[in-house]
Structure 1
Amino acid sequence: MEALFYIVPMIMIAGALFFLYKALGRTRQVSAAWNSGITAEGRCLRAYTRTSGGGGDTSVSTTLHHVYEFSTRDGRAFRFDEGGGPATIIEGDIVTVYYTPDRPEGATALTPRRGRLAAGTGCLVAFFALFITFCVGFMVVAHAIFSEADGLMP
């Protein structure tokens, strides 16, 4: 039973670290695409929304996604799906796509906003740091309680 108070927080920490790794990776991709200075004309092929949450008593969140297609300077065609784009872009619109020549699959059609990207990433890192700190604190308190209980047992 005691192991449950260590295993569950460790799994939660591992999950938090995984999601943090993925988020930081996407932040690096977007930043590299903006910094590369290489752009292409792309076209919005599809716009759709993705909802998450259960409804009823829980909140539902909706994210707008776009599917874009563009060709690199060497003529290779790429498609990518990106969430969080502007609602003013609809199917058929022409957009500017930012990409790096070595990783065009990590392209973005988001307008460069380095401050917003940094602030969003900073908030995400702070949230996960707080979450991990809470999990570690929980394990420390659980350890102290179980150690004290073992000392009281005859």
Structure 2
Amino acid sequence: MELLFYAVPGIMIAFLVYAAYLLIRRARRISRIWQHGLTAEARCLRSYTTTSGGGGDTSVHTTLHHVYEFTTRDGRTVRFDEGNGPSTIVEGDFVTVRYLPEFPERATALPPSRGKLAFGTGCGVVFIGMAITFCVVFIAVAHMIFSESEGLMP
């Protein structure tokens, strides 16, 4: 029974650390593309939305996606899907995309906004840090309760 109070928060901490790693990796990738990437003109081929959440009593989150296609400087045609783009871009619009020559399929049409990226990443990391702190406190409290009750439990 004690193991449950240690294992579940421990597994949650592992997933939260991995989520923080992914969040920071994404921010570094986008920042690198903005700083060192090449630009190309891309065409929006399609836009669509996805929804997540149960509805009813729970909230539903809608994400707007765009599918872009562009030609790299070496002549390769690349198509990529990007979520959370602006709602003002519609099918047929031309936009500037940035990409790294070694990974053109990881291009982004998001305009450079380092402050917004840093703020969003920072908020995400703070939230994850608070969740990790809660798990650590939970484990510490559970440990105190189990160590104090050792002589009382049969």
TM-score tier after normalising by the smaller chain length = over 0.9
The 2-side partners of 1:59 and 1:91 are apart by 28
Q: Distance in 1 between matches of 2:134 and 2:55?
A: 28
TM-score (norm 1): 0.94
The aligned counterpart of 1:67 is 67
Aligned residues between the structures: 154
Unaligned runs of 5+ in 1: none
1:146 aligns with 2:141: no
| Equivalent position of 1:29 in the other structure | 29
1:1-154 correspondence runs (5 A)? 1-153=1-153
Structure 2, gaps ≥5 residues long: none
Tell me the distance in 2 between the aligned counterparts of 1:91 and 1:75: 23
Q: Is the 8 A contact 1:100 1:107 kept in 2?
A: yes
- How far did residue 153 of structure 1 move? 4.0
Aligned partners of 1:21, 1:79: CA distance in 2, in Å?
27
Q: Which deviations, in whole Å up to 9, do the C-alpha atoms of 1:96-127 show, x marking residues without a partner?
A: 00111222222100011110000000000100
Q: How far does residue 69 in structure 1 lie from its aligned partner after superposition?
A: 1.3
Please, what is the CA RMSD of the aligned residues?
1.3
Shift of 1:37: 4.6
Distance in 1 (CA, whole Å) between partners of 2:24 and 2:80 is 19
8 Å Cα contact 2:50-2:64 kept in structure 1: yes
Give the TM-score, by structure 2 length: 0.94
Q: Give distance in 1, aligned partners of 2:26 and 2:64.
A: 17
CA distance in 1, matches of 2:54, 2:110: 29
Aligned-pair identity in percent equals 66
Deviation at 1:24, TM superposition (A): 1.5
Q: Contact 1:29 / 1:107 at 8 angstroms: preserved in 2?
A: no
Contact kept in structure 1, 2:37 and 2:101, CA below 8 Å: no
Contact 1:49-1:62 within 8 A present in 2 as well: yes
Matches of 1:104 and 1:16, distance apart in 2: 29
Aligned partner of residue 121 in structure 1, secondary structure: helix
Alpha-carbon distance in structure 2 between the residues aligned to 1:17 and 1:78: 33
Distance 1:134 1:90 in 2: 43
Return the offset for 1:19: 1.8
State the shift of 1:131 in Å: 0.5
Asked if the contact 1:46–1:68 (Cα under 8 Å) also holds between the matched residues in 2, the reply is yes
Inter-partner Cα distance in structure 2 for 1:151 and 1:71: 72
Secondary structure of residue in 1 paired with 2:28: helix
